[in-house]
Amino acid sequence: MAAERLRSLAVDEIRPVRLWTARSPLTPPDALDRLARDMDSSVQWNALINPNLPDTALRWLADLEAKKAGTRWFILRERIVHHPNASEALRAELVAVGACGCPRPCGRSVYARQASTVTQ
């Protein structure tokens, strides 16, 4: 599917269309960024589990959750800290506040498995 079409689907008024677009490995990073900022938390989550989500969107989601939850919970940030596109700076910030207490390389394989499944 053409990148321009996926960009238009990222702003579709129909929720399942946005959910599908957020999960597509073909969705361009700018459209994923938009989907991560969607008002629907399910659309946000589906963008987050896409291994192509850019660091800018990851940081935005981390900041959003931090404002809502502080250090009470790390639902999004626990996933963000292991995202393959998370910058080292963002990863360090999240580890410092307790978003991950396990060894550094943990969780990254989740995204690697998703990517290999999509390409097969």
3-class DSSP string for 67-112: HHHCCCCCHHHHHHCCCCCCCHHHHHHHHHHCCCCCCCCCCHHHHH
Chain CA centroid to CA 2, Å: 21
Distance CA 55, CA 48 (A): 10
Cβ count within 10 A of residue 50: 24
Q: pLDDT at position 2, please?
A: 92
Q: pLDDT at position 39, please?
A: 96
Q: pLDDT at position 73, please?
A: 87
The domains of the chain are located at 3-119
78 three-state secondary structure: helix
Give me the amino acid identity at 32.
L
* Residue whose C-alpha is closest to residue 19's, from 58, 46, 40, 59: 46
Tell me the pLDDT of the chain (120 aa) as tens digits: 699 999 999 999 999 999 999 999 999 999 999 999 999 999 999 999 999 999 999 999 999 999 999 988 899 999 999 999 999 999 989 988 988 877 555 555 545 545 555 555
Q: pLDDT at position 102, please?
A: 73
Q: pLDDT at position 7, please?
A: 97
